[in-house]
Structures are given as structure tokens and as C-alpha cells.
Amino acid sequence: MGLGTVVITGAAGTIGSAARTALRDDADRLVLLDRVPIQAETAAEEVHNVDLRDAAAVESALSGADVVLHLGGVPDEAPLGDLLDANVLGTHHVLEAARRAGSRRVVLASSNRVAGFYPVAHRTDPQEPVRPDGLYGVSKAAVEALGRLYADKFGLPIICLRIGSYEEVPTEPRHLATWLSPRDAVGYIRAALTAPASLRFATAYAVSANTRRFWELPDESVLAYTPVDNAETYAPHIADAELPADSSAPQAGPYALPEFTLKHVCS
Ligand SMILES: NC(=O)c1ccc[n+]([C@@H]2O[C@H](COP(=O)([O-])OP(=O)(O)OC[C@H]3O[C@@H](n4cnc5c(N)ncnc54)[C@H](O)[C@@H]3O)[C@@H](O)[C@H]2O)c1
């Protein structure tokens, strides 16, 4: 208890399902929104089968929202039209609905892929300019910009979490830098939802305390959470974990390759 009415968009998804379970005890009312049907599992849960592109339906679902965790959207490379619809327009609808509801905090799911072209040797700070590794990253840069706009113009408190690679365990060499464990994901999400309203806007990487990480951990004055997991523990089980990394290669690895984006571009 304590967070009041908590809205989770994308509640049927991977991270949304984990957040739903984790936040059950923090919320008085848990409003779950997704375009795919969800079944309520407790008396405190309320489900809304809503497409984020439908502004009126999003506004109705967010009515009375104290805090909003916006995870819904297309989570990977796709045609730009699809990304603009679900991620950019969808986020605009969520922010506008939260503004009208008088929400005290909105947490937006951004991605490490807004800056995947920084080289492996570079420790990226979220204040640095974006360097998207594809169209998905461009859509998340727009999500962050919308958040900044709503914070600056309307005073809506926003935190953008640049999520790393959310996996039960790291399974490939890149994960040794980018892994976000389920436990740390919940820690970051809870810290962001409970941040003081005086924190009007922040962008922070949500990544585990990986020895090889590419990104600065959030300052505790921004986000009161210190990650506890480290992908290095799993390195002995990952093939090629000890091959020397090309320090000038993009952090995004294969996602930065032209063909990864070109397969989604109309000819
Ligand atoms: N999983 C990761 O490693 C990772 C990394 C970086 C960022 N993120 C971001 O975190 C968020 C959650 O990721 P996830 O892995 O749980 O993704 P997911 O695909 O499992 O969940 C996304 C959910 O959003 C819903 N959705 C998509 N379009 C919608 C629409 N138009 N209207 C309503 N609902 C819609 C889907 O039905 C799905 O349930 C996404 O915004 C993603 O971009 C995830």
C-alpha cells in the first residue's frame, strides 16, 4: 500500500507482468492496460483492453491515476509508421491522460537503444546526445523528448528509464554489459515511481551492476536504488565471454548493422 492508484501500460508484456506482481502490495488499486486481454487476479486489479493509439480509451483508463508506469509499445525494430503509432503517439496519449488525471509521477520505458552507437569503450552518461542505433531507438528518443516537454511545459513529474537487456539470466557476451536482472528492474521501477515530486525530470539507465557495463549507474540523488546483480557471475557459462571486445564497435552490437533496420524499410 502507499502508491494509491497505479496504472501499468503494457501490463501483459514481459516487464509489465513482473511489475504487476511486484507492485501488488504497493498499490491500493492496480489498473492494467494492454491491447491484449488480461484477467484480473485480485480484487484490487482493474483491467482495460485498450490500444494506446486510442486517446479517449487511454484517458478513460488513466482516470484517477496517481502514478503511471508506461511500458506498452513496440519493443524492437519495426517499420517507422508502427513505431510512431504505438510508441510516440501512444506515449503522447498516456502523458496527456496523466496530465488531465493530475498524476504525481509518470515513469516512461525508454531504451539503451537511444544511444547504441556510442562505442563499447565509452561509458555513456544519459545527459549525452542520443545516438539511436535504429528506428526503434529514434522512437524512444521521441518518447524521452515528449517526457521532457510534459515536465517542462506542464510540470508533470517524469522519469525515463533507459532499460538494458531484461533477461532472467545473461546468455550472450553483450549481456555481460547490458543485462538488467528482474530483481534490479523491479528495484529501479519502484524507486522511480516513489521518487519525490521535486524531481521534475530525469533520464537514467536501468542496468544491473555489471562489471563490463557501458552506462553510468544513476546517481542516488536521482534514483534511490543501487543494483545488486552482476552479469559477470554468469560469464563462465557464456560462450565467447572472454573473447576480446572491439572497443570501437557500437554498444548495440548486431542491432547497429544496416540490415537490421533495412529489413523494415519499404523498398
Ligand atoms: N525487454 C527489454 O529488454 C527492454 C529493453 C529496453 C526497453 N524496453 C522497453 O520496455 C517496455 C516493455 O518491454 P517488454 O520487454 O515487456 O515488451 P513486451 O513486448 O513483452 O510488452 C509490451 C506490451 O505492450 C503491449 N502493446 C504494444 N503495442 C500496444 C498498443 N498499441 N496498445 C496497447 N498495448 C500495446 C503489448 O501487447 C505487450 O503486452 C517497452 O516499452 C520496451 O520498448 C524493454
The rounded mean pLDDT for the chain is 97
Question: Do the domain assignments include residue 136?
Answer: yes
User: Measured in angstroms, how far is the CA atom of residue 86 from the centroid of ligand 1?
Assistant: 10
- Domain tally, the chain: 1
Q: What is the CATH number of the domain that holds 83?
A: 3.40.50.720
Question: What pLDDT, on the 0 to 100 scale, is given for residue 267?
Answer: 66
Could you tell me the pLDDT band of residue 266, with boundaries at 50, 70 and 90?
confident
Q: Is the pLDDT of residue 199 over 80?
A: yes
b/e sequence 51-86, b meaning 16+ C-beta within 10 Å: ebeeeebbbebbeebbbbbbbbbbbebbebeebbbb
Residue 267 placed within a domain: no
* Ligand 1 centroid from CA 12, angstroms: 9
Closest CA to 32 of 75, 68, 78, 76: 68
**Tens digit of pLDDT for each residue in 105-128?**
999 999 999 999 999 999 999 999
- Distances in Å between the alpha carbon of 109 and those of 76, 141, 247? 13, 11, 28
Q: What is the pLDDT of residue 7?
A: 98
What digits encode the pLDDT tens for the residues 217-245?
A: 999 889 999 999 999 999 999 999 999 88
Residue 137 is assigned to a structural domain of this protein? yes
What are 127-141's pLDDT values in tens digits?
Answer: 999 999 999 999 999
**Would you say residue 160 lies in a domain?**
yes
Q: Per residue in 7-33, pLDDT tens?
A: 999 999 999 999 999 999 999 999 999
pLDDT digits (tens, 9 = 90+) for 80-114: 999 999 999 999 999 999 999 999 999 999 999 99
| 14 belongs to a structural domain | yes
Atom of ligand 1 nearest to the CA of 50: 33
Domain-embedded: residue 155: yes
User: What share of the chain has pLDDT > 90, as a percent?
Assistant: 97
Range of the domain at 43: 4-262
* Ligand 1 first shell, C-beta below 6 A: 10, 12-16, 34-36, 51-53, 71-75, 86, 90, 109, 111, 163, 165-166
Alpha carbons 141 and 113: distance in angstroms, whole number: 9
In a domain, 232, yes or no: yes
